[in-house]
């Protein structure tokens, strides 16, 4: 896909992998809508960094648990930037959901942001992409979808659901739209990892380190810019940890 003067929406683009992805897409000439919720200040900082690439950016706040706010955000992006050519579903809630403290409302929040919001965004944006004849959707997943933490069952299950949704949308939106996933390994150590667990994780990762945000951004850019015959796939960016 030729990316100059195309438009991308990256959810949770204020910091972390979302910021790295947004900057990488802006660097190759894309205008970028920067979704945020509680990180508007960080999203504005990302927008200021994007200015160096002489492309447009738009800070687009919305609570992804609220479908009406999603619709309002999309209408604003359409008006201010134009139709979306690339959607990156990066936003996620990562909260503990232990067996001993089962809270249905926490499960609901996790699934609303991690599954339902990407479904809504992919449905609305994907249909417009299909009608225009081209588009890319990238879902940011997690290798814990296949190797879950016992302490974060809801998060891991939500990522497994999104991985399945990636394949469903790839079939439904073909041949015009490619839908793929990127599944990172650990980039930031979870609070519950002990020092011994951290050492063990790195020792059992063939490439001998944790991931970096740029590793994810590079893979997203490949799927957006270079891949013309890849859809319904999940690329693991984990240094071989899942082998």
Please write the tens of the pLDDT for every residue from 63-107.
999 999 999 999 999 999 999 999 999 999 999 998 998 999 999
What is the mean predicted confidence (pLDDT) over 12-29? 98
Q: For residues 158 and 82, what is the distance between their CA atoms, to the nearest angstrom?
A: 31
Whether residue 140 is predicted with pLDDT greater than 90 in this model: the reply is yes
Query: Residue 103's pLDDT is what?
Result: 95
Whether residue 187 is predicted with pLDDT greater than 90 in this model: the reply is yes
Query: Residue 46's pLDDT is what?
Result: 98
Q: Work out the percent of the chain whose per-residue pLDDT is above 70.
A: 100
Query: Residue 191's pLDDT is what?
Result: 87
Query: Residue 98's pLDDT is what?
Result: 86
Which are the catalytic amino acids?
A: 155
Query: Residue 2's pLDDT is what?
Result: 84
Q: For residues 14 and 62, what is the distance between their CA atoms, to the nearest angstrom?
A: 13
pTM: 0.97
Query: Residue 184's pLDDT is what?
Result: 98
pLDDT band at 123 (very low <50, low <70, confident <90, very high): very high
CATH topology of domain 7-237: Rossmann fold (3.40.50)
Average pLDDT of the chain, as a whole number: 97
**pLDDT tens readout for residues 23-53:** 999 999 999 999 999 889 999 999 999 999 9
């Amino acid at each position: 896909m030729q990316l100059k003067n195309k438009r991308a929406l990256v959810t949770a683009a204020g910091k972390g992998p979302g910021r790295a992805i947004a900057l990488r897409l802006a660097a190759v000439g894309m205008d970028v809508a920067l979704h945020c919720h509680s990180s508007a200040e960080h999203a504005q900082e990302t927008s200021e960094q994007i200015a160096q690439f002489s492309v447009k950016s738009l800070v687009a706040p919305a609570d992804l648990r609220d479908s009406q706010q999603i619709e309002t955000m999309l209408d604003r992006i359409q008006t201010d930037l134009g139709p979306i050519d690339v959607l990156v579903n990066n936003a996620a809630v990562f909260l503990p959901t232990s067996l001993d403290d089962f809270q249905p409302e926490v499960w609901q929040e996790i699934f609303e942001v991690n599954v339902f919001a990407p479904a809504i965004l992919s449905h609305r944006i994907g249909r417009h992409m299909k009608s225009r004849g081209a588009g890319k959707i990238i879902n940011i997943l997690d290798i814990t979808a296949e190797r879950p933490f016992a302490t974060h069952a809801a998060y891991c299950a939500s990522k497994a659901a999104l991985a399945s949704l990636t394949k469903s949308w790839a079939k439904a939106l073909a041949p015009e739209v490619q839908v793929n996933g990127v599944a990172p390994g650990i980039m930031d150590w979870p609070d519950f990892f002990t020092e011994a667990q951290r050492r063990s994780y790195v020792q059992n990762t063939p490439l001998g380190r944790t991931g970096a945000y740029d590793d994810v951004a590079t893979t997203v850019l490949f799927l957006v810019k270079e891949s013309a015959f890849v859809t319904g796939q999940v690329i693991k960016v984990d240094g071989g940890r899942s082998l």
